[in-house]
């Protein structure tokens, strides 16, 4: 078979890939390794290369994979460098049209693993778009599979994976995959279900990501396996899976999560990572036995949704300054309160992002660790082996920390150690389950914190909720907002004419009228005026003083969001009226 070639997308004369691979490239690679060339290009430093070489010896991975794993350079940076270094023509995969017949020439799983797209083919030639044009093994495998000569173009790996996922989605729906599985099941050929099951799980995950779902529920019933997704805080029905396919589906999720497939009597928790296009998603998995089989819930942890700055939270300017000031304090306690699913973790991580991690030592104790943060030492709590928040915090205080994040204050020991840490010069962030910000004060006292210690330690308490955001594409202004306010027994603002909006529904929001969520906040900044009352824990007096000093309640902040067109009065009453 003739040697593979690198071609120019505009049709110029091909370059002999074999000559590049075993001639020019061999000359370069014998004198300079990939790591050395990345140092010359300024993508990594010599010290980082030294670290990567040690890790490569330990793991046995290729240098490019090691550099990505250590976070020293991105996939896209390395792909672009390889293309430029090899003088391989690049192509913009976002603008190309693919043909289903050509895509089908190479199995999808192999394309994803090797980061290649079968682009076009003639009677004897197949053109591949590759992230690494020097992946001789992949080229050889494709030539063996297709019996075609291979020509090569290149593009960044994230772009290839994103395009590949989009092409794969067009090949068939989840319903078609289920039909295929049922036919296989009828013929009792269980071993043949592996590939369709893998494809079905991927299609379910892709559908959840498109809907911006936070959780995927696999719920066993008497005669089916029901799949539901939580989108914008609301559970929505997705589809029903035949009962015969329940065990293969759940077993596949367990395999992905490194759980014991044979154990169906005890609860299990696990994690797995999944690449969908250019997105790297992390999933937290929970399995719980029920009367009709195991209930499995996947929590989608998309680090791309993690807020990066305090300004991104959408606070009022005054409250934004309060939080920024608290984050930069040398010591004290900052609490975030609210029910499960109210965005507390996101707010805490956003606050940590505001900490100068170059000059300060930052540790976290979490259960579980939801997002990996650079330059922060994160510890996973495991009560099974005795690593509780209390034990972890006691040990952590001997690690010379400046800033500590305690994922949740659950018990007396944790609360008392947290206060002790603040008294000894540490800045502590934590979460607490209370209905509003001021209720955190008596809650801490109930947990055994001495009231006289609160004035010296408490700096800021944040209460929050999440409300659905109106779709900006299709929202409609209400004709008579004053009448709408009266229907809720709310006063009409006198300073200006109020504006309110309502949901309508469009393709952008899947006819829901809402797309995404926004947070509403109650910020309780504790200054010297509160100190005499803090020692008593009197909620009524604290609340009266806070309102006198201009603190906005959760409901008030919700009204601000409604008047700004971010949400509706119905949403505010749903999540914040009783607070």
Q: What CATH code is carried by the domain that includes residue 227?
A: 3.30.450.90
Which pLDDT score, from 0 to 100, does residue 32 have? 66
Asked if 119 and 81 sit in the same domain, the reply is yes
Residues 325 and 421 in one domain: yes
Residue ranges in the chain whose pLDDT is less than 70: 1-32, 83, 86-88, 168-173, 185-193, 277-278, 303-308, 356, 577-579
- Location of structure tokens 């992002």: 353
d(CA 336, CA 408): 9
Residue at 329 is within a domain: yes
Q: What is the pLDDT of residue 285?
A: 94
Domain finish residue from 304, 334, 364: 304
Of 241, 270, 304, the residue that ends a domain is: 304
pLDDT value at position 57? 86
The pLDDT value recorded for residue 559 is 93
In terms of domains, do 406 and 432 share one?
Answer: yes
Q: What are 224-262's pLDDT values in tens digits? A: 999 999 988 889 887 888 898 899 899 999 999 999 999
319 shares its domain with 297: no
Is 298 among the domain residues? yes
CB-neighbour burial class of residue 359 (10 A; exposed 0-12, middle 13-18, buried 19+): exposed
Q: What is the DSSP letter of 361?
A: -
Domain membership flag for residue 486: no
What pLDDT does residue 193 have? 63
Q: What is the pLDDT of residue 188?
A: 57
Is 90 within the bounds of a domain?
A: yes
Residue 355 lies in a domain: yes
280 shares its domain with 241: yes
pLDDT tens digit sequence for 26-53: 344 444 677 888 888 888 898 998 998 8
Q: How many domains does the chain have?
A: 3
| Whole-structure pTM value | 0.72
In a domain, 541, yes or no: yes
- The answer to whether the CB of 153 falls within 8 A of the CB of 129 is yes
Cα–Cα nearest to 238, from 230, 249, 250, 227: 227
Residues 334 and 361 in one domain: yes
Residue pointed to by tokens 């900044």? 525
Spatial CA neighbour of 462 closest among 536, 389, 552: 552
Same domain flag for 331 and 380: yes
Are 82 and 196 members of one domain? no
Same structural domain, 313 and 294: no
From 261, 289, 304, the end of a domain falls on 304
Q: For residue 264, what are the domain limits?
A: 172-304
- Residue 572 placed within a domain: no
Domain-located, residue 368: yes
- How many Å apart are CA 321 and CA 315, to the nearest integer? 9
What pLDDT is attached to residue 179? 78
| Whether residue 288 sits in one domain with residue 402 | no
- What is d(CA 89, CA 398) in angstroms, rounded to the nearest whole number? 55
pLDDT of residue 11: 44
């Amino acid at each position: 078979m003739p040697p593979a070639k690198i071609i120019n997308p505009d049709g110029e004369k091909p370059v002999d890939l074999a000559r590049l691979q075993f001639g020019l490239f061999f000359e370069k690679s014998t004198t300079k390794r990939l790591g050395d060339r990345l140092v010359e290009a300024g993508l990594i430093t010599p010290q980082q290369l030294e670290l990567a070489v040690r890790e490569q010896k330990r793991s046995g991975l290729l240098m490019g994979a090691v550099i990505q794993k250590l976070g020293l350079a991105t996939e896209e940076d390395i792909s672009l460098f390889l293309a430029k270094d090899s003088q391989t023509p690049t192509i913009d995969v976002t603008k190309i049209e693919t043909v289903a017949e050509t895509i089908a020439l190479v199995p999808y799983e192999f394309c994803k693993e090797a980061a290649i797209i079968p682009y076009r083919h003639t009677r004897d030639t197949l053109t591949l778009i590759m992230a690494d044009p020097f992946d001789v093994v992949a080229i050889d495998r494709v030539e063996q599979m297709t019996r075609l000569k291979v020509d090569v173009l290149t593009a960044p790996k994230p772009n290839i994976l994103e395009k590949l996922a989009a092409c794969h989605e067009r090949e068939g729906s989840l319903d078609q995959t289920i039909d295929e599985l049922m036919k296989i099941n009828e013929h009792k050929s269980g071993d043949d279900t592996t590939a369709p099951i893998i494809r079905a799980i991927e299609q379910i995950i892709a559908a959840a990501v498109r809907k911006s779902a936070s959780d995927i529920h696999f719920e066993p019933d008497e005669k089916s396996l029901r799949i539901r997704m939580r989108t914008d805080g609301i559970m929505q029905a997705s589809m029903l899976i035949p009962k015969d396919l329940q065990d293969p589906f759940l077993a596949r999720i367990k395999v992905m999560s490194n759980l014991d497939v044979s154990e169906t009597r005890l609860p299990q928790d696990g994690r797995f990572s999944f690449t969908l296009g250019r997105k790297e998603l992390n999933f937290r998995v929970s399995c719980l036995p029920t009367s009709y089989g195991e209930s499995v819930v996947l929590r989608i942890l998309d680090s791309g949704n993690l807020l990066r700055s305090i300004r991104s939270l959408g606070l009022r300017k005054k409250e934004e300054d309060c939080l920024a000031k608290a984050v930069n304090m040398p010591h004290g306690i900052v609490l975030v309160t609210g029910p499960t699913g109210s965005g507390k973790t996101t707010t805490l991580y956003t606050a940590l992002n505001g900490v100068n991690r170059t000059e300060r030592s930052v540790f976290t104790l979490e259960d579980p660790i939801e997002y990996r943060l650079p330059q922060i030492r994160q510890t996973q709590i495991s009560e099974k082996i005795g690593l509780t928040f209390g034990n972890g915090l006691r040990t952590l205080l001997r690690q010379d920390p400046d800033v500590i994040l305690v994922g949740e204050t659950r018990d007396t020991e944790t609360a008392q150690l947290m206060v002790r840490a603040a008294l000894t010069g540490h800045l502590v962030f934590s979460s607490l389950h209370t209905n509003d910000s001021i209720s955190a004060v008596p809650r801490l006292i109930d947990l055994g914190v001495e009231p006289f210690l609160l004035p010296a330690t408490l700096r800021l308490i944040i209460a929050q909720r999440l409300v659905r955001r109106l779709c900006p594409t299709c929202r409609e202004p209400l004709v008579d907002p004053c009448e709408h306010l009266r229907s809720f027994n709310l006063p009409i603002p006198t300073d200006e004419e109020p504006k309110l909006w309502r949901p309508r529904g469009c393709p952008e929001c899947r006819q829901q009228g809402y797309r995404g969520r926004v947070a509403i906040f109650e910020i309780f900044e504790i200054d010297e005026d509160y100190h005499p009352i803090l020692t008593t824990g009197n909620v009524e007096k604290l609340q009266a003083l806070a309102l006198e000093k201009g603190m906005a309640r959760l409901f008030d902040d919700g009204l601000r969001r409604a008047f700004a067109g971010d949400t509706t009065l119905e949403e505010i009453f749903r999540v914040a009226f009783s607070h």
